[in-house]
Structure 1
Amino acid sequence: MPKVLIVAEHLDGKLNASTAKCVTAAQALSPQAIDILVLAADPAAIAAEAAQIAGVARVLTVANDANTHAIAQVLAPQIAQLADGYTHVLGPSTTFGKDLMPCVAALLGVAQVSDVMTVESSHVFKRPIYAGNAIVTVEVPADHTVVATVRIASWAEAAKGGNATVEAAAVVAELPTHTRFIGLAAGASDRPDLQSAKRVVSGGRGVGSEENFKIIYDFADKLGAAVGASRAAVDAGYCPNEMQVGQTGKIIAPELYVAIGISGAIQHLTGIKDAGTIVAINKDGDAPIFEIADIGLVGDLFKILPELEAALG
């Protein structure tokens, strides 16, 4: 039976929701056991969160100052060493996982399976290709360790209520010195994280300018939502690229997605098609976004948004 090791994603001492989604994917394997691995300078609080996820048998911790920052080349040798005895090693298909898991796969000498959206059997999976226009079935050789990233937009978070044991793991791995942390440049925001937010409001080229994007921020704040953008808006300089939603940005699955001034290029639709409810506001009634929207409003966004804000109170 499969035995699964999940690499926990965390930031600022808090567990990312993507880890619970990986647990759900792991449960689809009908495994013998699911363990979560937490690598951090001080993993105690993160491990306590992970231990509460239902279905988790153990939480392994590796405390090392070298793990203060999530550097793939530093984390991967430790994960590869601890992977011994596991049939599957999973990580989320987020920026964190996309950076880390290929390094783990290389050290284990296997090919990675990316963006797992369904589990057919222990070594057979389905994943999207061609911007989500086709689904391919991938089979991993039965004698290979499965290293995979989980498409978090395709899986719900595992429930809480677990009570897994927390154990410190001993790792004696040679860590590289050629890759090291220098600094972090990131925009500060009090809004929810775009990749895990339940509600997201995104603006597109139709917003018109960086100054006009304030109307998107204001509306998002009214909803308590994260803020995203289309690639066209990012390329036009309206907002930074970490806000980009779509095939070449972040693939998300919020409960509510509001697309404002976004026409709906296929690359953008790929990133939002798993959202619960999609609301589109665009002056072009023939915009492709309306083909997948659950609710569509045709009109001038600069007139519609103030009216919506007023209605929200």
Structure 2
Amino acid sequence: MGSFIQNQILGMQWLKTLIGKMLSAAGFDIENRFGGSLHFFLYDVIKITILLFVLIFLISYIQSYFPPERSRKILSHCKGFSARIIAALLGTVTSFCSCSSIPLFMGFTTAGLPLGVTFSFLISSPMVDFASLILLTSIFGSKIAIAYVVLGLVVAVTGGTIIEHLHMEDQVADFIRNGKSVSLVEEKISQKQRLVSALHSVSDTLKKVFPYILLSVAVGAIIHNWIPEDWIVSLLGRKNPLGVILAVFAGIPMYADIFGCISISESLLAKGALLGVVLSFMMAVTTLSLPSLIMLKKAIKTKLLVTFVSICVAGIILVGYFFNAFQALFL
């Protein structure tokens, strides 16, 4: 049953077979480079779009029960290490884009929540959301997906703990540190309003990320069918012990969520890249995208920004080497 769910429901192997038969019937040879690339592109675009629609609808519906004011109240009742754990867990049911997480981080900080708590949330929100668990399960299997989420939460809680103990409150922008938090009255929302709002979120998200999905899948198709396997192995395989570090710094300048980099990661793994290299690349893209860092620079000062990036980079690299070392247990 587990294999059926992973392969046929989440992985949609039936869709891959169907598209292959349709292309063959149309006269394409899916065994050659061009036909194989077209097969990969159509299958991944349709599969990711379907998953995106379903997951964003579910996430948006769940988020309707955790508006910023309710999340702030939940966190305000927790203290110390437990508060950072709750913040990291709350990050998994909120916005999956790093740029969308920053306004919430600013609001929580203005409300007076401890800096370590708000940074645990900021790290967790884009890195280990519900979408990543389902999408990674569909591509890599449940063991890898669960380990990825657990280690991501560890990075988030550890990062928040380090920042908390560094006492860097003075490194928050003055307009946030001295701002006044406004308590909002939580509106009661009907089930119909929740469903309509979730559908709107799906539409808005698709408009924003679909071009990146097309680009990502196109790159994945090129890697999958045109790049020699020896190149990938020599650069990102066991022959290069610095592959994880290279993947992290290659991922930072990119702007994408997990939907926008999953096809590239899938193709790299199929071509011989190590598992830790692929997952650390995904973590870097989703957590440390350059646009989000530019936005974050408006909210915190340089010293704290460098500390945040350094903690995330170190944590992601350690996660990457962990998956490399124990790859045989997961694949």
- TM-score, scaled to structure 2: 0.26
The structure with higher relative contact order (CA 8 Å, sep 6+) is 2
- Which one has the bigger strand percentage? 1
